[in-house]
Amino acid sequence: MSSASSVNQSLPYVVDFDPVFISLGPLEIHWYGVTYLVGFALFYLLGRYRIRHYSTQWDKQQLADFIFYGALGVVIGGRIGWYLFYNDTPFSSDPLLVFKVWDGGMSFHGGLVGVLLAILYFKNKTNKSFYQVSDFVAPLAPLGIASVRIGNFINGELWGRITQQPWGMIFPQSLPYNQQPGIMGRDTWQELYQQGQFNLFTRHPSPLYEAFLEGIVTFVVVWIAAHYARKRGTASAVFLLSYGLSRFLVEFFREPDANRGFIAFDWMTMGHILTLPIIAYGLWILWSQRNIKLT
């Protein structure tokens, strides 16, 4: 085997996708938006499955209605959460920034609050209890989370911390400014990449970790919990605990936000801090509903 082949085999993967799914004249549809649509579609299909195969007291029209309110909660809550937790632009500088969804910036924790508000509204609208709604919704959400995390990966964002593990990847946007492909020129950058010049900048592919743990693993755990649940709120609590613990773990591999860094104890990130109430809420549901059987 030639030495050139050996070098090429050791080159880390570069996360450098075109974020645009399709261009229709001046209109560009981004992969990130498509992953949200895929998430809502999976939610609907799984909801239809549960209506057909489980005793849920839901019908197809209620499912479709909730997707509308839930989607509003995800988008509006996610955007407001990003504005409050991660944005540094003063309100006076750009009062409309919170509405500029096309500029990017979403927070899962804000989206979760938005969905909880949607559940409150929907349970009053349909005369269901809160847990009748949340326990139905909980098993349907994780695969949507996985889909959106794949969107983060395609965008080359939310990269992990530096690692020399063999599965480490290069996120071009994480490189020093003068070493990014758009600044150096792609031909020059590719030549240096082939020489292994960027191998020390490989990072954990944390969006994929999140897609697996927050999405796929949480889906399996919550689906099983919902199937065998005998107490009200069980599926909701298991979702919160599985997501919360998964996110808390991944934060140790994900690069802290540049404008936040470590918030406490030289290791806690904003993601850690915002996830603690999710875990606490899940534990509280299990405790408060421990004697209340499903109805």
| Per-residue pLDDT tens digits for 177-197 | 999 999 999 999 999 999 999
* DSSP per-residue letters across 46-57: HHHHHHHHS--S
pLDDT above 60 (res 291) = yes
pLDDT above 50 (res 2) = no
Longest dimension (CA), the chain: 71
User: What is the rounded distance in angstroms from the CA atom of residue 47 to the CA atom of residue 66?
Assistant: 11
Predicted TM-score of the model (pTM): 0.91
Summarize the confidence of residues 37-56 as an average pLDDT: 95
Predicted local confidence at residue 100, as pLDDT:
72
Summarize the confidence of residues 160-169 as an average pLDDT: 96
On whether the CB atoms of residues 293 and 231 are closer than 8 A, the answer is: yes
User: What is the rounded distance in angstroms from the CA atom of residue 228 to the CA atom of residue 246?
Assistant: 22
pLDDT above 60 (res 168) = yes
Q: Which residue, 230, 226, 228, is CA-closest to 218? A: 226
pLDDT one-digit tens code per residue, 210-248: 999 999 999 999 999 999 999 999 999 999 999 999 999
User: What is the rounded distance in angstroms from the CA atom of residue 62 to the CA atom of residue 207?
Assistant: 32
Predicted local confidence at residue 26, as pLDDT:
85
DSSP state of 175: S
Q: Which residue, 144, 72, 58, 124, is CA-closest to 101? A: 72
β-partners of residue 293 are: 231
User: What is the rounded distance in angstroms from the CA atom of residue 286 to the CA atom of residue 225?
Assistant: 12
Q: 253: how many CB neighbours lie within 10 A of its CB? A: 15
Predicted local confidence at residue 8, as pLDDT:
52
Instruction: Tell me the pLDDT band of 103, cut-offs 50, 70 and 90.
Output: low
pLDDT one-digit tens code per residue, 111-129: 999 999 999 999 999 999 9
Summarize the confidence of residues 256-264 as an average pLDDT: 89
CA 107 to each of CA 5, 55, 78: distance values in angstroms, whole numbers, following the listed order: 43, 33, 5
The Cβ-side half-sphere exposure at 51, using a 13 Å CA radius, reads 15
pLDDT one-digit tens code per residue, 24-33: 888 889 999 9
Predicted local confidence at residue 246, as pLDDT:
98
pLDDT one-digit tens code per residue, 61-95: 999 999 999 999 999 999 999 888 888 888 777 77
On whether the CB atoms of residues 170 and 201 are closer than 8 A, the answer is: yes
Output the six-digit token pair for 135. Answer: 């326990």
At position 290, the amino acid (one-letter code) is: R
Instruction: Tell me the pLDDT band of 5, cut-offs 50, 70 and 90.
Output: very low
User: What is the rounded distance in angstroms from the CA atom of residue 224 to the CA atom of residue 15?
Assistant: 34
CA 27 to each of CA 16, 30, 36, 78, 103: distance values in angstroms, whole numbers, following the listed order: 22, 10, 18, 24, 15
